[in-house]
Amino acid sequence: MPHVIIPVVALNGPTASGKTAVAVALAHALGAGGIEAEVVNADSMLVYRGMDIGTAKPTPAERGGVPHHLIDIMDVTQSASVADFQALARAAIADCRTRGVVPLLAGGSALYVHAILDDFVFPGTDPAVRARLEGELAEVGAPELHRRLASVAPETAEGILPGNGRRIVRALEVIELTGSFRSTLPGWEYALDDVVQFGLEVSREVLDARIEARVERMWADGLVAEVERLVGQGLREGRTASRALGYRQVLALMDGELTEAEAKQATVTGTRKFSRKQLGWFRRDPRITWLPAGPESAASMASAVRGIVAGARGE
RNA sequence: GGCCAGGUAGCUCAGUCGGUAGAGCGUUCGCCUGAAAAGUGAAAGGUCACCAGUUCGAUCCUGGUCCUGGCCA
């Protein structure tokens, strides 16, 4: 029996670029050619149960019968992390492949995609150490902690700006746990075999208009009510979930810090900024093949994937 | 036609008791290893509507011109 290659297909693109629809269309197009495919979510916010409207989580209808992995796997009080997600996603990918199913990694969070596909090794964490350092950060401030980092590990401190409390805390934590901390990201080298990455291209004007319309629709669809319900489930205690775009602004509205119009506007501008940031990150990855977003892109992706599978079979 | 308000960064505006200007948004470019829809740094960009006067010096004061909005005819 010839060796069969089941590629990992990563679908990247900024928020509101239509990844969800393209992923499902791609799965259907592959299915029509006898190749099964399932979606593996790589979006940090889709993992939370109950966060539906504000995350534009695909509904069962939108999923079109294609199995989706890693959606609705946590409560809002939990905190997803890159390291956990890397393990979960790699397991889901491996599971698909052993069943002969092509995993479609739907990438919303660039760091997550990067960590799943590339050679990221995460040093451990210790809640007690972390909590202590965060307490100190709140007490003495980032510049002071940065000075301490510089005295312990000058080279690491050089790569981290004195105002960036988050990175300083993590660096100190890892140094305490392991003795050293590397402060630069690894390069673009796949840790998995047979990876194909696509990117969905959308013009700025179209993307901005879509974001604005989408935020408007989220509010009309009851985002405020969704947030109120989630507050009852502990959303405010959720360190990650409470900071999601849209959710953070509605919380501010409920606290009287913003008017409704301001909260909406802040969500739009925040989402726009986020999309630029994501785009920047994806653009830096030279291995991504860019295609204009739309129904045709799913077709050309399908034929590329079919080529890989067929080539391996020697057809 | 008269009165009032205003013309300052791509947009919305602040400001300078006269010493050539700022904020937010936008744009551009970075950093990122257990919160990443997060965190964090920097840059570009203005003949301060136009002309003249006063002044050592005007975006700011004075006069005029043009334009915009509102009110009154």
Give how far Cα A260 sits from Cα of A86, A92, A205, A213, A288, Å: 37, 40, 25, 16, 39
Q: Which nucleotide is nearest to A15 (CA to C1')?
A: B37
Which whole number is the average pLDDT over A155-175? 93
- The CA distance from A299 to A313, in Å, is 21
Residue A183 located in a structural domain: no
What pLDDT score was predicted for residue A41?
96
The reported pTM is 0.90
Q: Which nucleotide is nearest to A137 (CA to C1')?
A: B39
Residue A205 located in a structural domain: yes
Task: Answer yes or no: is pLDDT of A208 > 80.
Answer: yes
Q: Which nucleotide is nearest to A82 (CA to C1')?
A: B34
Contact, A129 CB vs strand B, < 7 Å: no
The reply to whether A49 and A71 lie within a common domain is yes
Contact, A73 CB vs strand B, < 7 Å: no
Q: ipTM of the assembly?
A: 0.90
Give how far Cα A106 sits from Cα of A70, A141, A197, Å: 11, 38, 10
Domain membership of residue A36 as a residue range = 8-120+194-313
Chain B bases closer than 7 A to any CB of the protein: 25-41
The reply to whether A231 and A264 lie within a common domain is yes
Which whole number is the average pLDDT over A185-199? 93
Contact, A177 CB vs strand B, < 7 Å: no
CA nearest to A31, candidates A69, A64, A61, A70: A64
Residue A185 located in a structural domain: no
- How many CB atoms neighbour CB A259 within 10 A? 11
The reply to whether A109 and A254 lie within a common domain is yes
Q: Residue A243 is part of a domain; what is its CATH number?
A: 3.40.50.300
The reply to whether A99 and A208 lie within a common domain is yes
The reply to whether A156 and A234 lie within a common domain is no
The reply to whether A54 and A144 lie within a common domain is no
Chain A 138-167 residues in 7 Å CB range of strand B: 159-161, 163-167
Q: Which nucleotide is nearest to A166 (CA to C1')?
A: B39
Contact, A182 CB vs strand B, < 7 Å: yes
- The DSSP secondary-structure symbol of A287 reads T
Task: Answer yes or no: is pLDDT of A1 > 50.
Answer: no
Contact, A219 CB vs strand B, < 7 Å: no
Q: Residue A147 is part of a domain; what is its CATH number?
A: 1.10.20.140
Q: Which nucleotide is nearest to A114 (CA to C1')?
A: B33
Residue A223 located in a structural domain: yes
What pLDDT score was predicted for residue A300?
93
The reply to whether A105 and A160 lie within a common domain is no
The reply to whether A229 and A104 lie within a common domain is yes
Query: In this predicted structure, which of A42-46, A192-196, A255-259, A288-292 has the lowest mean pLDDT?
Result: A255-259
Q: How many domains does chain A have?
A: 2
Most confidently predicted of A28-37, A257-266, A293-302: A28-37
Question: CA at A243, C1' at B72: how many angstroms apart?
Answer: 54
Task: Answer yes or no: is pLDDT of A148 > 60.
Answer: yes
The reply to whether A21 and A84 lie within a common domain is yes
Give how far Cα A251 sits from Cα of A29, A51, A115, A191, A262, Å: 41, 14, 31, 39, 12
Contact, A111 CB vs strand B, < 7 Å: yes
Share of chain A above pLDDT 70, in %: 97
The reply to whether A157 and A224 lie within a common domain is no
What integer best gives the mean pLDDT of chain A?
Answer: 92
Q: How confident is the model at residue A137 (pLDDT cuts 50, 70, 90)?
A: very high
Residue A1 located in a structural domain: no
Residue A91 located in a structural domain: yes
Residue A237 located in a structural domain: yes
Q: How confident is the model at residue A257 (pLDDT cuts 50, 70, 90)?
A: confident
The reply to whether A90 and A173 lie within a common domain is no
The reply to whether A242 and A168 lie within a common domain is no
